[in-house]
């Protein structure tokens, strides 16, 4: 049976909408790169800080990790969200493990900016 015209046009419309959304997302990711770089720089500063990590820096890095965990998966970086969640958990500790933060921040940088 030949499907009605509406049944044929719906998948096409869906595909077009998905295509358009993907293109807009790619453009948004490009425009968003300076924000990502600034967030990674905050994580780098936190990992290089003296022990104990200054509280204002820890809270700034915690905020950055939270934002990254909430946004990276939307751009297709699901593993980035997993790493950012680990960072968020580490930074939630008043005396976070700076070495572990450096490793995870390095993995994020490699994944997002290479």
Residue 81 or 98 having the CB closest to another protein: 81
* Least distance in angstroms from the C-beta of 20 to another protein: 5
Residue 81 or 107 having the CB closest to another protein: 81
Cα radius of gyration rounded to whole Å, the chain: 20
d(CA 41, CA 36): 9
Q: Which residues bind another protein (CB under 8 A)?
A: 10, 13-14, 17-18, 20-21, 24-25, 28, 32, 35, 66-67, 69-75, 78, 81, 85
Task: Give the residue from 86, 83, 110, 84 showing the smallest Cα distance to 97.
Answer: 86
* Least distance in angstroms from the C-beta of 69 to another protein: 5
Q: How far, in Å, are 18, 61, 94, 104 from residue 79 at the CA level? A: 22, 19, 25, 11
* Least distance in angstroms from the C-beta of 74 to another protein: 4
């Amino acid at each position: 049976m030949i499907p009605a015209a509406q049944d044929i046009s719906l998948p096409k419309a869906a595909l077009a909408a998905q295509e358009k959304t993907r293109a807009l997302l790619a453009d948004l990711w490009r425009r968003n790169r300076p924000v990502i770089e600034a967030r990674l720089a905050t994580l780098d500063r936190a990992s290089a800080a003296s022990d104990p990590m200054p509280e204002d820096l820890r809270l700034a890095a915690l905020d950055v990790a939270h934002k990254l965990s909430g946004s990276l998966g939307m751009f297709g970086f699901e593993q980035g969200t997993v790493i950012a969640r680990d960072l968020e958990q580490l930074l939630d500790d008043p005396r976070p493990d700076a070495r572990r933060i450096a490793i995870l921040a390095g993995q994020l940088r490699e994944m997002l900016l290479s």
